[in-house]
A and B are shown apart, each in its own frame.
Chain A
């Protein structure tokens, strides 16, 4: 790689609470230019909450209780609403979970683009419609759909519209929150192939939130694994794919994945029940389900160690 550059997004010790419950506890991660960072976790992991909170897009009653989130060097947690609005859409765009609810049913597709352009000072005369048409084509949709209503489009098509809207202002960072979870596997694959190609062409960085770890091993540069609101491991995807996962939870997740055709492994479930962030186990939140747990694990929360391969575990080293 060339000389080190400022990361597009740098989140440090971010903590988010809903009332008395700490849904996200001191999570740190960074996204470099052109990189794809995958945030993976199961129910209650806080993966969506952490990312949306960092962008100040988390709905009430969530509130940020600690940490920093620097977008291109500026701490989003210290900015006021007008400064945030300048950045939302233009410097970072969100493709939310469930495109059905993110598209306004009273507006045609083309109007959604017009709204976005208008909010950022792009005048209608400056070729907004052409740009919108070319964006639709880029995500694999017929540009005639600019005049379609959201309810007339299938789930996959709506998701493509949401991605096109995200890219409308050419942001350096695109954040996708479970974009394909509700879609059929063939449509999902088509959209992901399109997304990878778009990233190659435009060079934006991506944060991809999902529960599908196998997908991230193919798609992401780095993967951050969350459990019960805490980061447990953060490493290059290639390392994890090659069997280099260190944290027992990550190893458990990988062991639970269905085997590849020809792979002679039987998947194994992780015993126990996912930790409840409202009433988490003391110390390391994973210890009740961990095969390596020692007495220390139920008393003291582990620190995150390592630089290029970070792990939060008393018994395993980072790198």
Chain B
């Protein structure tokens, strides 16, 4: 078993609330462990307030983590590059944004970002860049005539493909995709998701797929990690975690995501919002959990291996 390409160990991210002295914090992520192997698609699943986007940005080094390690090929880049990501890191880890309308600069033609990526990382010279941009567009299924058009002239699906072409230009080993299809029409989502699958299978590029859409995640992911209130609830093979989850929150999420029950059955969990500001001790889901016991509010949940590669963070889980 080879070492994973990317590892998060005990990552914590917090945002101070209010002015000085800073003693109230919004805890966006806490004690997060996550692995992404080469050529693997890992889905980071959760709702708003789960911390999934924040973690995606930590991996892309747009967001600082105040605790924990970020290991790329075993090297903790938070210690080796404390002042911000090096160009070398930026070549290996790229990011595709959620909003295809906001991630392209409206004053530049859509080929600009791809060209800049190629030039910055030495993948093309001024003489060869135009041809390489066209090749990059073709690789994501876009016609080369679109290279000089401005963003307003392209559809949402086309813009998202441009964003993917831009990320691919540097030939990254890991792509963080932050809700890449949530702002696209349903009828074009599958093609974009399949593109990621192809990148993983044919080019060994790992993908960290940040999403709230379990169905998309199930379609293309190898493994899945479910987050709530910035903490991991369950992680393991996507087929099991997303279709037959063991953690009560993951079960609630799966039940709410189904579209075939006829809106009859009540949901397995009480309404509520994740406690992220100065959270109380214990499991963050305890207040809403149908299976909570006193231990849940007293101490953090233990990590239980219900199968060799399937971990559940729950007091009620039974080990294999």
Which A residues are within 8 Å of any B CB, using their own CB?
A: 42-43, 140, 154, 184-190, 192-193, 196, 211-215, 217-219, 252-253, 256-261, 266-270, 273-274
What are 6 sample pairs from A and B whose C-beta atoms fall under 8 A apart? A185-B212, A185-B213, A218-B260, A258-B218, A260-B258, A270-B188
Using known A-B contacts A218-B262, A269-B190, determine if residue A154 contacts B273 with beta carbons closer than 8 Å: yes
Stretch at the interface among B66-74, B107-115, B263-271: B263-271
**Bound-complex Cα distance A252 to B189 (A):** 13
The residue that A140 contacts in the complex, of B155, B257, B271, with Cβ under 8 A, is B271
Chain A residues near B269 (CB-CB < 8 A): 186
Is A218 a contact of B188 with CB atoms below 8 Å? no
A237 to chain B, nearest CB (A): 11
Indicate whether B289 reaches chain A with its CB closer than 8 angstroms.
Answer: no
Contact residues of B: prevailing secondary structure: helix
The residue that A269 contacts in the complex, of B187, B243, B257, with Cβ under 8 A, is B187
Chain A residues near B189 (CB-CB < 8 A): 256, 267, 269
Indicate whether B253 reaches chain A with its CB closer than 8 angstroms.
Answer: yes
Indicate whether B47 reaches chain A with its CB closer than 8 angstroms.
Answer: yes
Is B185 a contact of A42 with CB atoms below 8 Å? yes
Is B155 a contact of A273 with CB atoms below 8 Å? yes
Chain B residues near A274 (CB-CB < 8 A): 155, 185, 187
Chain B residues near A253 (CB-CB < 8 A): 186-187
Is B190 a contact of A185 with CB atoms below 8 Å? no
In the complex, what residue of chain A is closest to B259 when comparing beta carbons?
A214
**Bound-complex Cα distance A220 to B189 (A):** 24
In the complex, what residue of chain A is closest to B266 when comparing beta carbons?
A193
**Bound-complex Cα distance A259 to B185 (A):** 17
Interface residues of B, count at CB 8 A: 37
Q: Give the 8 A-B residue pairs with the shortest CB-CB distance, closest first.
A: A258-B215, A214-B259, A184-B47, A42-B185, A270-B187, A269-B191, A189-B256, A186-B256
Is B253 a contact of A186 with CB atoms below 8 Å? yes
Q: A42-B187, A214-B259, A256-B190 are in contact. List 13 more A-B contacts (CB 8 A).
A: A42-B185, A187-B47, A189-B267, A190-B267, A193-B266, A212-B186, A256-B186, A257-B259, A258-B216, A260-B259, A267-B219, A269-B190, A273-B155
A172 to chain B, nearest CB (A): 22
In the complex, what residue of chain A is closest to B215 when comparing beta carbons?
A258
Is A218 a contact of B273 with CB atoms below 8 Å? no
Is B263 a contact of A192 with CB atoms below 8 Å? yes
Number of residue pairs spanning A and B whose beta carbons lie under 8 angstroms apart: 88
Indicate whether B221 reaches chain A with its CB closer than 8 angstroms.
Answer: no
The residue that A258 contacts in the complex, of B155, B185, B219, with Cβ under 8 A, is B219
Indicate whether B261 reaches chain A with its CB closer than 8 angstroms.
Answer: yes
Indicate whether B157 reaches chain A with its CB closer than 8 angstroms.
Answer: yes
The residue that A252 contacts in the complex, of B47, B155, B187, B253, with Cβ under 8 A, is B187
Is A186 a contact of B218 with CB atoms below 8 Å? no
In the complex, what residue of chain B is closest to A267 when comparing beta carbons?
B190
**Bound-complex Cα distance A60 to B220 (A):** 43
Is B263 a contact of A218 with CB atoms below 8 Å? yes
Chain A residues near B215 (CB-CB < 8 A): 258-259
Indicate whether B128 reaches chain A with its CB closer than 8 angstroms.
Answer: no
B82 to chain A, nearest CB (A): 35
Give the residue among B156, B212, B215, B216 with the most A Cβ atoms within 10 A.
Answer: B215
**Bound-complex Cα distance A219 to B264 (A):** 10
Is B47 a contact of A185 with CB atoms below 8 Å? yes
**Bound-complex Cα distance A43 to B157 (A):** 11
Chain A residues near B259 (CB-CB < 8 A): 214-215, 217-218, 257, 260
**Bound-complex Cα distance A189 to B257 (A):** 8
A5 to chain B, nearest CB (A): 25
B220 to chain A, nearest CB (A): 11
**Bound-complex Cα distance A154 to B274 (A):** 12
Is A211 a contact of B185 with CB atoms below 8 Å? yes
Is A190 a contact of B271 with CB atoms below 8 Å? yes
In the complex, what residue of chain B is closest to A276 when comparing beta carbons?
B155
B317 to chain A, nearest CB (A): 21
In the complex, what residue of chain B is closest to A273 when comparing beta carbons?
B155
In B204-226, the 8 Å CB interface with A consists of: 212-216, 218-219
A276 to chain B, nearest CB (A): 9
Using known A-B contacts A185-B253, A188-B256, A258-B215, determine if residue A273 contacts B187 with beta carbons closer than 8 Å: no
Indicate whether B252 reaches chain A with its CB closer than 8 angstroms.
Answer: yes
Chain B residues near A188 (CB-CB < 8 A): 256
**Bound-complex Cα distance A20 to B29 (A):** 51
Indicate whether B48 reaches chain A with its CB closer than 8 angstroms.
Answer: yes
In the complex, what residue of chain A is closest to B155 when comparing beta carbons?
A273
Give the residue among B212, B213, B257 with the most A Cβ atoms within 10 A.
Answer: B257
Indicate whether B117 reaches chain A with its CB closer than 8 angstroms.
Answer: no
In the complex, what residue of chain A is closest to B271 when comparing beta carbons?
A190
In the complex, what residue of chain B is closest to A196 when comparing beta carbons?
B263
Chain B residues near A42 (CB-CB < 8 A): 185-187
**Bound-complex Cα distance A269 to B193 (A):** 10
**Bound-complex Cα distance A187 to B157 (A):** 27
Indicate whether B7 reaches chain A with its CB closer than 8 angstroms.
Answer: no
Indicate whether B235 reaches chain A with its CB closer than 8 angstroms.
Answer: no
